[in-house]
Structure 1
């Protein structure tokens, strides 16, 4: 594991040893959408953008220019060798008429599904780009359901008065009866016996929200400079594509917007994400690779990516892997990220049934502020809940019983995290594996984490913390370790006068090491549970 990190230093070696990312190139020929009848008044809906893209591609490619102005359009399909360029001041408004969009077979949350085609869509294309300083608005508020507890009382009254329908519990607003109907059907969008074609889903069309931009099975992609806002669902979604460059983009969705991830790199290979900003209603920067059996059958990990110099504001997670990671993820180099106000900072999540291996992940230089939940979390027992419990929800950890290993057992291993700060979180570090598959080979080095609760380690193996400071308000204990093995702390610092430094429980816990750590700064150093021998803990100065 260490040999990988030797190659990665965000300052000294900005480009880790990965395959070069192939970038698109375009002819200089420019096609202006006004030549196809586009009117910049925000009222006149036209197909001018699509006509310009088609004409440009047919002529051999080039740049389609959207000049400054307010342009109303239905969905857009990309074509080979086209750079769709939004000039500064250009606002492309997608239609709020759902009849302007059609249902297609696609993938949603890693499973074969039927959804409305993405507002910007491309499949099996090469050499494509969306660039410029303009804005795409996805009219997401006409598609998304909204939970009452996500709004103020005034906002809720204004929303319900605008139209739409409310469910029987009066706790969720839906933009239409179709949308409400879809919400009552478990996994309504998945293809299954009896529902195989898009026509079979017409009765819940409004529920099947489109993503903002999907580029599926494409090669040589560039997204640069543009703003994607108000997406109905996921915002930027490269799917089973390769050679991807995403630079200086901005994704903005309301904080209450369900499933409005910033960017989802799903089963993609070779790319760079840099200089971008995400302020969304779900995960910010997310790595995925399919779900459960279908994801394992696809067998396409997300691999060979550099992710650097990005900022995430509101989001469920800042940088996230999972939970749909059944095809695996590997060789990701992540550096120079800032999270402010996210529910979780670094978030790694999976569950039984997923399978897949997440490995060789290297993270360097992450700064966080006002994290609502965990600053760093590894969780193989993710249960598809919001990371921050709502009022009245239980916060007690579940009782996890061992199950036999099988192809659905997920694995997280060989992950190194360096140079992290967090000013404010509910929990600094949480690691929770499974009895049959612990999270393993995790290194956290050079971190200063301020939080309410310090560290919880359950079902983990080969965990190393070096030069980590845990400044927590609750200190009984600082380190909670359950059924974990080969856990080492070197030069650990913690809140002075802590009630208890370490509580160790579980009959499978062994080999816990404390090195270069002042155990006397706590009122009590170690508390052992039943069936835990004193030999489990080794304290030394070096």
Structure 2
């Protein structure tokens, strides 16, 4: 598509005002020109609107067939510059639908995709090979609301439109133990590459919100993710056996971990053997009273390595960057780098556990011990904290290479601030004084953070444009 025309000074003022008013990131609207610019990994030659395929945005009519029909038709352009499907203003009720290659799904700011609560609109899919069973129930699982597998070059973005998972139906079934299949996720892409998910508001997912799995070259940015803090398993963003992933500028309120990095469960994850690696997380804000801002695991049996997290904020959150593993997981969590955490109202600042013992079935190997090493935290300020740290390795399999530096924690009156077993490491300039297993270096040190770049950091988004669409 051609770029939008150059704007006059008066229109530029209107554009700036509109962007500031709506709090958008990277989206420009030329008022009066019916033109919108947005950042994406790829621009598309062809475009269409959901109403072209029979879509009805009244919040009551099912649009499952309209989405499926639209994407099926637009898939024919995948080898001719790709296609973009616009979801215009309205409330678009739908069940699960699949994406296609070289495709962009774009939501207008007054558009809301509503997930159907009719189970007949949710096809079933096989359990994930690295998990061996569904998480809620051992057999199959419901397909995600927005789903895709074996895809290349897919963008899910918008002018901060909304996707509403209407999760209360599913949460109620979960609490009543009525699920025969695992709940759907909101967005899931499998065995895919060159994926962008950005500039959207996601609310009330039935379970996890964003789940890229067995995929690479992923950019997730500018998401607002909201779920009640007592909703079950509403993790925000879960890269799972993924490589080269960039997560930035997201705000998450969740009933579970805001971000959880995973790579398969016990013997199934060990056999599948696909790690999560080369992941960068930055400028994250999290609220999760019962879970972590960032969790590594607990399903990590394919391995997790080279995770870099910086400029992190958590408020009223149980823990900051937490490692969760257990006997039977095998594999490793290594080369983890965290710097710049601002924390307020936390139960734990540092939390690692080797006894997170949920297993898919009795077939796990009790000799499969995880290797946890090279864990680095620096530049942390925390206020209103109950405990500074709970660090529990595994007997005869200690967590090693832990480095913590330049940390100030304002805690409550709990006498034992650092509870440490089966760990090894060092600290520098840390208050309150750490446990004996983390002795303080006499000379000041700074825990490492890599200077090189993860490859996905070098990916520059293009400026794409939408023009002459009457709903602007």
Q: Give the TM-score normalised by structure 2.
A: 0.78
Q: How many Å separate the matches in 2 of 1:234 and 1:480?
A: 36
Pairing 1:288–2:248 present: no
Q: How many Å separate the matches in 2 of 1:52 and 1:269?
A: 31
Q: What SS class does the counterpart of residue 128 from structure 1 fall into?
A: strand
Match of 1:121 in 2: 147
Q: What SS class does the counterpart of residue 297 from structure 1 fall into?
A: helix
Match of 2:296 in 1: 321
**Contact 1:312–1:340 (Cα < 8 Å) also in 2:** yes
Alignment equivalent of 1:69, drawn from 87, 90, 94: 90
Q: What SS class does the counterpart of residue 111 from structure 1 fall into?
A: coil
Instruction: Report how far residue 451 of structure 1 moved.
Output: 2.0
Instruction: Report how far residue 430 of structure 1 moved.
Output: 1.9
Q: How many Å separate the matches in 2 of 1:384 and 1:282?
A: 16
Match of 2:210 in 1: 236
Match of 2:165 in 1: 138
Q: 1:28 to 1:358 in 2, by over 3 A?
A: same
Q: How many Å separate the matches in 2 of 1:327 and 1:293?
A: 9
Q: What SS class does the counterpart of residue 325 from structure 1 fall into?
A: coil
Q: What SS class does the counterpart of residue 361 from structure 1 fall into?
A: strand
**Contact 1:53–1:84 (Cα < 8 Å) also in 2:** no
Pairing 1:40–2:66 present: no
**Contact 2:130–2:269 (Cα < 8 Å) also in 1:** no
Match of 1:494 in 2: none
Alignment equivalent of 1:489, drawn from 428, 434, 440: 440
The runs of 5 or more residues in structure 2 that have no matched partner are: 1-39, 135-139, 360-364, 445-472
Match of 1:30 in 2: 47
Alignment equivalent of 1:460, drawn from 418, 423, 434: 423
Q: What SS class does the counterpart of residue 330 from structure 2 fall into?
A: coil
Match of 2:70 in 1: 52
Alignment equivalent of 1:420, drawn from 376, 380, 402: 380
Q: Count how many residue pairs are aligned between Structure 1 and Structure 2.
A: 386
Q: How many Å separate the matches in 2 of 1:479 and 1:309?
A: 27
Q: How many Å separate the matches in 1 of 2:190 and 2:375?
A: 28
Q: Which has the larger radius of gyration?
A: 1
The runs of 5 or more residues in structure 1 that have no matched partner are: 1-22, 146-163, 165-171, 175-179, 183-203, 386-404, 471-477, 491-513, 517-542
Q: Give the TM-score normalised by structure 1.
A: 0.68
Instruction: Report how far residue 97 of structure 1 moved.
Output: 0.7
Q: What aligned pairs does 1:493-512 form with structure 2 within 5 A after superposition?
A: none
**Contact 1:26–1:81 (Cα < 8 Å) also in 2:** no
Q: How many Å separate the matches in 2 of 1:106 and 1:455?
A: 40
Q: How many Å separate the matches in 2 of 1:107 and 1:286?
A: 17
Q: What SS class does the counterpart of residue 440 from structure 2 fall into?
A: strand
Alignment equivalent of 2:101, drawn from 75, 80, 94: 80
Q: What SS class does the counterpart of residue 428 from structure 2 fall into?
A: strand
Q: C-alpha offsets along residues 77-116 of structure 1, whole Å, 9 cap, x if unaligned?
A: 1111110000111111111111111221032983343111
Root mean square deviation of aligned Cα = 2.1
Q: C-alpha offsets along residues 139-169 of structure 1, whole Å, 9 cap, x if unaligned?
A: 2111113xxxxxxxxxxxxxxxxxx8xxxxx
Q: What aligned pairs does 1:375-414 form with structure 2 within 5 A after superposition?
A: 375-383=349-357, 408-414=368-374
Match of 1:11 in 2: none
Q: What SS class does the counterpart of residue 148 from structure 2 fall into?
A: strand
Q: How many Å separate the matches in 1 of 2:434 and 2:54?
A: 66
Q: C-alpha offsets along residues 393-413 of structure 1, whole Å, 9 cap, x if unaligned?
A: xxxxxxxxxxxx975101110
